[in-house]
Amino acid sequence: MPDWKENLRCSFCHKKSGEVEKLVAGPGVHICNECIGLCGEILEQERHAASTEPRLPVWETMSEEQILDHLPKIAAVQAQVDDNLRDWVGHLRGRDVSWERIGASLGMTRQSAWERFRSET
Ligand SMILES: [Zn+2]
């Protein structure tokens, strides 16, 4: 398995690609077969529950400790998405696509794109 593929993780459970059967890619995120299975179960349960009550925001049901425990998971996904974005931009740079076009695609100036994504080497 190439390095980049080995380092991919499920954005939901954070397992590495080698620890699960399959990772499905979205824009900057990935989901593993196990989490897809869990999503299927949740949808199935909700279909049977037939509740019409609006859902509370998830943090309304959580303790402060649980919310604090959740923060590093969100930060890890953010880091994963940042790395992924950097890889995609790096690939475009490898094709000699200008910072101007990359910036325009991301709604930022050429200068901002360069400052954010230029390689340190
Ligand atoms: Zn997963």
Q: How far is the CA of 40 from the centre of ligand 1 (A)?
A: 13
* pLDDT, tens digit, 9 for 90 and up, residues 68-98: 999 999 999 999 999 999 999 999 999 999 9
Distance 21 CA to ligand 1 centre (A): 10
> Exposed, middle or buried by CB within 10 Å (0-12, 13-18, 19+), for 119?
exposed
Mean pLDDT over each residue of the chain, to the nearest integer: 89
Q: Measured in angstroms, how far is the CA atom of residue 90 from the centroid of ligand 1? A: 26
Q: How far apart are CA 64 and CA 55, in angstroms?
A: 19
Q: Give Cα separations from 95 to 6, 33, 63, 88, 102 (angstroms).
A: 24, 33, 49, 11, 12
pLDDT in tens, 93-117: 999 999 999 999 999 999 999 999 9
- Report the percentage of the chain scoring pLDDT > 70: 89
Distance CA 116, CA 109 (A): 11
Res. 1: pLDDT tops 60: no
Q: At what angle do helices 64-94 and 110-117 cross, to 10 degrees?
A: 110
Confidence (pLDDT) at 8: 87
Give the DSSP H/E element, type plus range, for residue 32: strand 30-32
pLDDT digits (tens, 9 = 90+) for 26-85: 998 999 999 999 999 989 988 887 666 666 678 888 999 999 999 999 999 999 999 999
For residue 51, what pLDDT is reported? 63
The per-residue pLDDT for 50 is 66
What pLDDT, on the 0 to 100 scale, is given for residue 48? Answer: 82
Give the environment of ion ligand 1: residues with CB less than 5 A. Answer: 10, 12-13, 32, 35
